[in-house]
Amino acid sequence: MPQELTKGQNAALSVNDVVVSIVLTAAADLSALLVTAEGKVRSDSDFVFFNQPTGPGVRLQPGAPGQAAELAVSLSAIPADVEQVRAVITLDDAASSFGRSAPPTARLSDASGNVLYEYRIDGLDTESIVIALELYRRQGSWKVRAVGQGYAGGFAALVTDHGVSVDDAPAPTPAVTGAAPTMVPPAAPAHQSTNGGTAGTHAAPPPAPAAPQAPEVSLTKKKRVNLSKGQKVTLRKDGGVALTQVRMGLGWDPVSSRGLFGSRSSSSIDLDASAVMFAGTKVSDIVFYGALQSDDRAVVHSGDNLTGDGAGDDEVITVDLTRVDPTVTTIVFIVTSFRGQTFEQIANAFCRLVDAPQGTELARFTLQGGMPFTAVAMAKVYRQGGEWKLQAIGEGFDAKTASKAIPHLGRFLND
């Protein structure tokens, strides 16, 4: 009888050859990403899917009747610099979601078909993609982890976050010299569904043009710095002294509307500020209204709807840079809309950096214009060259809570 796994649970593997399969009622595909310790593929050949059914130690094979293809994995053939093999389920209909059908079940079997582990992926809602299982190395052995991480950003966003090159044009024919074709992700071509139906043509959106990089500025001036999107700041104040404790104040106002007889009203908006801490590309801690302090006690949240120094701060997150766990490389500050209102209904959203001991405002970033999203990454602080820096982000996405926001944050880690 297989062992049932719960989300986040891991278990040891005692066999070398395993098969990942899925059971679900909706049409879907199974694919694999082979990633290094940094969470990235080494090249596009580390992405196994229906247009590229084999990779180093991993291949797609026909699944059970009416089900998606399976992933056959030979653990001894996985390259030494690959730390994890992530199994990804993608619905054929990108406009659909897992919440419309029974939860999918991921199974891990041995080469003889004996089911070793089974994981029912509960809790999915609007997502059409989920990282189901992860095979990973630990002290010279292999283990399996039940992940169940839904990904609402689209398939192209998921594979791009893992380092796969995405091209919405057809792959060019290789030249005689042996040049490799450009990788085309599953979102691009029409394909035959692995569970018997014919999937429609998936058109990958054209890549957004690269935004011009704002110049890096310093805090050595005797006035507050007004940041633009993407702008970076070295966290040193006058005299070149590194800041030790900073406060990130986040604020916003609901957009009021004119009602009957000229009265003005505003809807009840519940926004939450959070700080997501990353060690490389892995989340190490989350500080939000439900967990007001990080494990290292370096990041502290003021709580819901409290006012910080100066007018307008709705929530404040204090960071003692000297106490941040040395494995933490980036802290991303986000704001999420718990009730689902978009930032088109929110005005004057801003974040500001304050020198906590002095109470002096050092920098401010104001979000210009409403966005049709329920979350926004406002800014991040990150280590570079032995010191901390701040970067304004101001990018929107859809997530109502900090945990739902995590799959969207990978693209902000390497800017």
Q: What is the rounded distance in angstroms from the CA atom of residue 338 to the CA atom of residue 375?
A: 9
Q: What is the rounded distance in angstroms from the CA atom of residue 202 to the CA atom of residue 195?
A: 17
Q: What is the pLDDT of residues 360-377, one digit of tens each?
A: 888 888 876 667 888 889
| CA–CA–CA angle 28, 33, 34 (5° rounding) | 155
pLDDT score at 81:
93
Average pLDDT value for the chain: 79
Q: What percent of the chain has pLDDT over 90?
A: 37
Q: What is the pLDDT of residues 189-208, one digit of tens each?
A: 333 333 333 333 344 444 44
Task: Report which secondary-structure segment, H or E, holds 138.
Answer: strand 129-138
Structure tokens at 318: 């204090």
Q: Does this model's pTM top 0.75?
A: no
List 18's β-bridge partners, or say none. 73, 110
Structure tokens at 306: 């409290």
pLDDT score at 200:
38
CATH of 3-161, picked from 1.10.10.10, 2.60.60.30, 3.40.50.80, 3.40.50.300, is 2.60.60.30
Most confident stretch, 217-221, 341-345, 394-398: 394-398
Q: Region 65-76: what's the mean pLDDT?
A: 89
51-60: long-range pairs with CB below 8 Å, 24+: 51/184, 51/186, 51/189, 51/191, 52/183, 56/82, 57/82, 57/85, 58/32, 58/34, 58/85, 60/30, 60/31
Name which of 250, 234, 228 is nearest 337 in CA terms.
250
Question: Which numeric CATH code is attached to 225-412?
Answer: 2.60.60.30
Q: Name the more confident of 21 and 340.
A: 21
Name which of 349, 361, 326, 324 is nearest 247 in CA terms.
361
pLDDT score at 82:
94
Q: Name the more confident of 353 and 304.
A: 353
Residue with tokens 């604020």: 251
Cβ-Cβ contacts under 8 Å for 278 (sequence gap 6 or more): 284, 328, 329, 330, 331, 332, 409, 413
pLDDT score at 14:
94
- Do 225-412 and 3-161 fall under one CATH topology? yes
Which of 74-78, 220-224, 366-370 has the least mean pLDDT?
Answer: 220-224
Structure tokens at 43: 């090249």
pLDDT score at 222:
56
Q: Name the more confident of 182 and 251.
A: 251
Q: What is the pLDDT of residues 262-314, one digit of tens each?
A: 333 344 567 888 999 999 999 999 999 889 999 999 999 987 553 333 346 78
Q: What sections of 132-176 are H helices per DSSP?
A: 155-161
Which of 12-21, 176-185, 295-304 has the least mean pLDDT?
Answer: 176-185
pLDDT score at 95:
75
Domain boundaries, the chain: 3-161, 225-412
List 30's β-bridge partners, or say none. 89
Q: What is the DSSP letter of 152?
A: -
